[in-house]
Amino acid sequence: MNKANKPELIIDGRRTDGRNLEDLRSVKIESGVLDNADGSAMVEWGNNKIIAGVYGPREVFPKHFSDPYKAVVNFRYVMCSFSSLEEHSRGGPNRRSIEISKMGKHVFENLILTEQFPNTAIDIDVEVLQSDGGTRVAAFTAASVALVDAGIPVKGFAGGVSVGKVDGRLAVDLNKIEDNYGESDVPVMFNSSNSEILLLQMDGLLTREEYERSIDLCYEASKKVNALQVDSIKKKME
Amino acid sequence: MEKKIVTPGELLFDFPKRLSGAYVENGKTYSSVVGVLSEGFFIPLRGRYAPFPGDLIVGVVMEERFSGYLVDVNAPFPGVLDSRDLRVEFRIGDLLVARVDSVDEVSNLVLVDPKKLLKGEVIEVGAVSVPRIIGRNNSMIDMVRNITKSEVFVGKNGRIFIKNGNAALAAEAVRKIADEAHTSGLTEKIKNFLEARTNEQSK
């Protein structure tokens, strides 16, 4: 990104897409969208469009990866070749998606009650169909709903959002332009039941006060995401 | 008391209680799957089959070994049939009904008393809806059997074997029960559904 042609991101307290600093984009979550997966979910988060499928618990392959004390969680995050404004010459793993897959594995290892299923694997596949910033939290949000849809025992929902510093001010739920030209980006996810932090990464710099404030902002936003996740599951039960 | 649909992470009881579909944290019980809370009971609505000794299950032969067969029982791990106890031979893909003899904490699942299932179809529903398909004192399953004139065998693992009679209608009814397992007045609803369909077809 060339910082020289950086657009003005906040004008009169409004952001590029007309939101206030603490507004989320419109979030739509639907569960059970795939027939062939054990559980699935689709999330439309602003312009992000993400689909998640879950399988398991099932046999581990290759077998020597299995753990006799708990289930192995495999997380696969992939961006489609047509998902972004820039060219993603082809789909499949790259440096970025390998990192996010690893983060997803750690998030869900701490959320799933893995000790109930020794010697098995739980596979979570997430496909980003369209991206506009914040796909990491949106992908994990979708995966969390898909896990519940599959009936895999979890401690709660993983919900969250990324907060960043844009034009010197903290803004909730960054979109792509804000992410690219902003000074910092902090994605945070919480366990809906005990408010444990499941994911916390930071790109760029923040002061200690700004960091603490952004965790608080994320926490408030995560409650809104949790409510939508619960609704998407309950809707299927009607 | 009213029935309440519960999603994972919700507080069920403020005292520790060991039950399926729940976990205990800091001395309190929380749900871990989607379920229904009514009159102090929590009934899970989603989840995989967890084998228990004595269960009658419908399995598919997956693999043949010197010592016996590996059987897919819709659980996270396969069941084992020891060929020393067997008088019949199976081929890969055969359907069978068997009893769970034992299951241990390292996922060894031993099956006994296998019986081949022939000339029928198997449908798969969630193992959690099996009690609903059977109904109180077999009321639901007997009704499906009487109206469709089919032989219906419900495996504890959520596989249902249907043979003879109006098998298609019986399968449809079983799927309907599984989909609406959390609603009340289901027996009446299914009865109306089956009667309407049989009248329609006899015209």
Residue B46 touches partner A, C-beta closer than 8 Å: yes
Tell the residue number behind the tokens 């089956």, with chain if given. Answer: B194
What is the predicted pLDDT for the residue at A226? 96
Interface A-B, measured as beta-carbon pairs within 8 A, has a size of: 79
Peptide bond into A57 cis (omega under 30): yes
Residue B23 touches partner A, C-beta closer than 8 Å: yes
CB distance A57–B5 less than 8 Å?
no
pTM of the shown model: 0.91
Among B30, B47, B182, the residue with its CB nearest the CB of A237 is: B182
Q: Residue A161 and residue A84: Cα distance in Å, rounded?
A: 20
Give the SS3 label for residue B88: coil
| Range list of β-strands (E), chain A | 10-11, 14-15, 27-31, 39-45, 48-59, 72-79, 120-130, 158-166, 169-172, 184-191, 197-200, 203-204
Residue numbers in chain A where pLDDT is lower than 50: none
What is the predicted pLDDT for the residue at B2? 73
Structural domains for chain B: 4-44 (2.40.50.100), 56-117 (2.40.50.140), 121-202 (3.30.1370.10)
Select from A148, A229, A231, A238 the residue whose CB has the most chain B CBs within 10 Å, as the one to mutate to test that interface.
A148
Tell the residue number behind the tokens 């790109």, with chain if given. Answer: A203
User: Which candidate, A177, A145, A114, places its Cα nearest to that of A43?
Assistant: A145
Each residue's pLDDT tens digit, B157-203:
999 999 998 889 999 999 999 888 888 888 889 999 998 888 887 77
What is the predicted pLDDT for the residue at A1? 55
Each residue's pLDDT tens digit, A65-79:
999 999 999 999 999
Query: Does A88 or B11 have the greater pLDDT score?
Result: B11
Structural domains for chain A: 19-237 (3.30.230.70)
Each residue's pLDDT tens digit, B21-61:
999 999 999 999 999 998 888 989 988 898 999 999 999 99
Residue B35 touches partner A, C-beta closer than 8 Å: no
What is the predicted pLDDT for the residue at B80? 94
Among A113, A117, A233, the residue with its CB nearest the CB of B76 is: A117
CB distance A153–B25 less than 8 Å?
no
CA Rg value for chain B: 19
What is the predicted pLDDT for the residue at A162? 95
User: Is residue B1 predicted with pLDDT exceeding 60?
Assistant: no
CB distance A148–B8 less than 8 Å?
yes
Select from A29, A117, A144, A222 the residue whose CB has the most chain B CBs within 10 Å, as the one to mutate to test that interface.
A117
- % pLDDT > 90, chain B: 62
What is the predicted pLDDT for the residue at A6? 83
What is the predicted pLDDT for the residue at B200? 84
B25 CB neighbours in chain A (<8 A) are 155, 194
What is the predicted pLDDT for the residue at A89? 64
Q: At what angle do helices B167-179 and B139-148 cross, to 10 degrees?
A: 150
